[in-house]
Amino acid sequence: MRTYLADEALLPEGWARDVAIDVDGAGAIVAVRTGAQAGAVEGAERLRGPVLPGLPNLHSHAFQRAMAGRTERRGPGGNDSFWTWREVMYRIAARFGPEDAEAVAAQLYVEMLKGGYTAVAEFHYLHHAPDGRPYADRAEMARRILAAARRVGIGITMLPSLYRHGGFGEAPPAEGQRRFLNDAEGVLHIVATVQADIAGGADARVGLAPHSLRAVSPALLADAVAGMRALDPEAPIHIHVAEQLREVEECLAATGRRPVARLLELAAPDARWCAIHATHMDAAETAALAASGAVAGLCPLTEANLGDGLFPFGAWRGGGGRWGIGSDSQVSASPRHELRQAEYAQRLHLRARTLVASEAQPSPGTTLLLEALDGGAQALGRPVGAIAPGRRADLLVLDAADPWLAGASGDTLADAFVFAGDANSVRDVMVGGRWVVRDGHHADERATATAYRASLARLFG
- Active-site residues, by number, are 277, 328
Q: Do residues 17 and 32 touch, judged by C-beta distance below 8 A?
A: no
- Of the CA atoms within 13 Å of residue 58, those in its CB half-sphere come to 37
Whole-number Cα distances in Å, 299 to 145, 326, 364: 21, 5, 18
Query: Distance between CA atoms of 10 and 45, rounded to whole angstroms?
Result: 18
Reported as type and span, the H/E element at residue 298 is: strand 295-298
- Of 334, 314, 300, the closest CA to residue 421 belongs to 334
How big is the chain, counted in residues? 461
- Of the CA atoms within 13 Å of residue 168, those in its CB half-sphere come to 18
Q: Do residues 89 and 406 touch, judged by C-beta distance below 8 A?
A: no
Q: What angle do CA 42, 45, 47 make, to 5 degrees?
A: 140
Query: Which residues, 6 or more positions from 139, have their beta carbon under 8 angstroms from its beta carbon?
Result: 160, 189, 190, 193, 194
Rg, the chain, Cα only: 21
Neighbour tally for 250: CB within 10 Å: 18
Q: Alpha helix locations (H) across 319-363?
A: 335-350
252 class by beta-carbon count within 10 Å (0-12 exposed, 13-18 middle, 19+ buried): middle
- Of the CA atoms within 13 Å of residue 123, those in its CB half-sphere come to 25
Query: Distance between CA atoms of 249 and 227, rounded to whole angstroms?
Result: 30
* Dihedral sign computed on CA atoms, order 67, 238, 206, 217: negative
